[in-house]
Structure 1
């Protein structure tokens, strides 16, 4: 019985195409490290969000466009991933994993009459993680390594810092280094594995240019820290050819902010982007091997709504999701395809004064993905 075929379907549904809290995208899973023998995988995901809000009222400085619809302010995006794993000897193995852990694509349509119309923001990241795993004789193992990560960001905000003005900020690509450490327990006879992995925060001083109406107002660097996180992932067989799997991910989003000097870092104004609360993301699923060729899986996800106000650049609060996946196995190749529906949690935004500027409700996203794995 090939439990790992089912686990591949779980990975696609729960990590690689998730639309999670903050600007989380990949879930930073290290599942490839636990594959048998020499193994390589490649993945591609496409996410199509539909996120819109309506201006709240009555009209005021904090709620300037009551009744105006923002239109869909989230662009579709692609995610890429790859991994290579090999054994050094019976106790030691290593993996190299590429992912795009954090990202945002915001584009408020123009001509809607909504106060944030024309606002744009983009945040991109790429990470390469090198991991080493040591197996102990008591079914425990420890793993750890280094993560090298790059980030870059841009944003354009009309009517900032005053009506009729346009604020623009460009942050150059910068590279930072963090670390990963964890422990796992396995019981192969029942396909059981529990792993706990910590990923450190990564610090950057991003070269930044800020402009208002095209005139440069600051070239001071912006200090950014991508957040620390903890992943708890598990799987276990519960019957012949049947596997239960899931996980919990905690991300320290309450310590994350982007505050360029002229916008907020040197003025005392709120940051360009920040979050009040940490985020916990839960997933639980079941997989079934149908025969030597096909396996299927279903996974449900949940992220608690924290309440309070959200940023105009990320007006979501929690989510619920359901994913379905199937894996086709032929010789040493595994092809997993999956689809996931995400119900995005309702959120409110504000321009200050404790008053609601807009309400975002009944939003969702659809994610599809494919992953190809080779054992050789």
Structure 2
């Protein structure tokens, strides 16, 4: 039974892909391309009663995977993805307190992995990752006082990391349990702050994470699947020289560790058609107040999709609605703005060539 499994999107922290290794477990050789588009609706009201306008920009994600069996026990995977990202912008024509504030973060990752099965049940997998990260942050609006107009540019940094995992399978009941650890990746980014005439260096860490994926047949044509993903976003700090000096070592990023839960069902509808539904959840964070760069707190996501398969080819369109939790924006412990419950609509398609 071949069914499309749900993908975690728009998850906790800056997560946009969930770092799935699903292609590595596909039977046969595989060439896969996937793309999705996100249209968020994130609007708030500042303490002066002014609308912030739409602050979360639309974005398009894409990914590529090539998997090949090297022997009856060994397979390899090459994957190109964009695991993390952020696109926030406050229109200067809207809130006078926050207008002009923005943040852009972009991460690309090339990963190569091998999987070895020493019997029908047990297998190990591991690989290397090469990650490229860059971004910029700017402060605008009266709420930032003397910091109004400050901006910082983090130029591209490319650094290596790794992944390690263990899997257990029971093909007779389509059972698979796979655990994967992704290492932290430490970047040293060439940094330009507009209040300094020289370029400096800023250290940053892409977080370590653990994925636990489970699937099992619960009826002849029905598959249950789920994932628990933990990501140590508290590792992610950005402290450029002038900003850190002005804030006693403060960071532009102040995120908590996240745990994302996903649960779904896949159903085989015919010899060519199958479908899936899933729900995912990120709990509300209570420890840290939200900043203008994080205008939501918690998430519940719903996804559904169908797959059409011919010999050697499969296409999977899908749709997702993400309900984003309300957030109170503060600056130096003073309330600045309130964002009610927000949302995002996502639609995508995945194309698989199996040979």
If the length of structure 1 is used for normalisation, what is the TM-score?
A: 0.91
Q: Residues 312 and 165 (structure 1 numbering): CA distance in 2 closer, same or farther, change over 3 Å?
A: closer
Within the candidate set 68, 72, 76, 1:86 is matched to: 68
Q: Kindly tell me the number of residue pairs found equivalent between the two proteins.
A: 353
Q: Name the structure 2 match of 1:130.
A: 112
Q: Residues 270 and 357 (structure 1 numbering): CA distance in 2 closer, same or farther, change over 3 Å?
A: farther
On the 8 A contact 2:239/2:249 being kept in 1, the answer is: no
Alignment of 1:75-114 (within 5 A): 75-114=57-96
On the 8 A contact 2:264/2:277 being kept in 1, the answer is: yes
CA distance in 2, matches of 1:269, 1:351: 16
Structure 2: give runs of 5+ residues left out of the alignment: none
2:281 paired with 1:281: no
Deviation string 1:113-161 (CA, Å, 9 cap, x unpaired) is 3411111211101001110111022511000010000001012212586
Q: Residues 359 and 218 (structure 1 numbering): CA distance in 2 closer, same or farther, change over 3 Å?
A: farther
Within the candidate set 241, 245, 256, 2:221 is matched to: 241
Q: Name the structure 2 match of 1:298.
A: 277
CA distance in 2, matches of 1:114, 1:310: 19
2:206 paired with 1:206: no
Deviation string 1:223-250 (CA, Å, 9 cap, x unpaired) is 0100000001111101011100110100
- By how many angstroms is 1:162 displaced? 3.6
Q: Name the structure 1 match of 2:102.
A: 120
Structure 2 counterpart SS, 1:369: strand
Q: Name the structure 1 match of 2:33.
A: 42
Deviation string 1:16-40 (CA, Å, 9 cap, x unpaired) is xx11111111110111000111111
2:337 paired with 1:358: yes
Alignment of 1:333-372 (within 5 A): 333-352=313-332, 354-372=333-351
Structure 1: give runs of 5+ residues left out of the alignment: 57-65
CA distance in 2, matches of 1:106, 1:218: 27
Q: Name the structure 2 match of 1:311.
A: 291
On the 8 A contact 2:46/2:95 being kept in 1, the answer is: no
2:243 paired with 1:263: yes
If the length of structure 2 is used for normalisation, what is the TM-score?
A: 0.96
Q: Residues 265 and 79 (structure 1 numbering): CA distance in 2 closer, same or farther, change over 3 Å?
A: farther
On the 8 A contact 2:229/2:259 being kept in 1, the answer is: yes
Q: Name the structure 1 match of 2:18.
A: 27
Deviation string 1:300-358 (CA, Å, 9 cap, x unpaired) is 11110012411211222110011110001011101001000000011112111x23222
RMSD: 1.6
Within the candidate set 205, 211, 231, 1:225 is matched to: 205
Structure 1 counterpart SS, 2:172: helix
- By how many angstroms is 1:217 displaced? 5.0
CA distance in 2, matches of 1:355, 1:222: 28
On the 8 A contact 2:291/2:331 being kept in 1, the answer is: no
Alignment of 1:151-166 (within 5 A): 151-159=133-141, 162-163=145-146, 165-166=148-149
CA distance in 1, matches of 2:44, 2:210: 32
| Higher RCO (C-alpha 8 Å, min separation 6) | 1
- By how many angstroms is 1:255 displaced? 1.8
Q: Name the structure 2 match of 1:59.
A: none
2:164 paired with 1:185: no
CA distance in 2, matches of 1:266, 1:136: 56
Q: Structure 1 segments of 4 or more deviating over 4 A? A: none
On the 8 A contact 1:218/1:262 being kept in 2, the answer is: no
CA distance in 2, matches of 1:282, 1:99: 21
CA distance in 2, matches of 1:242, 1:47: 29
CA distance in 2, matches of 1:133, 1:114: 54
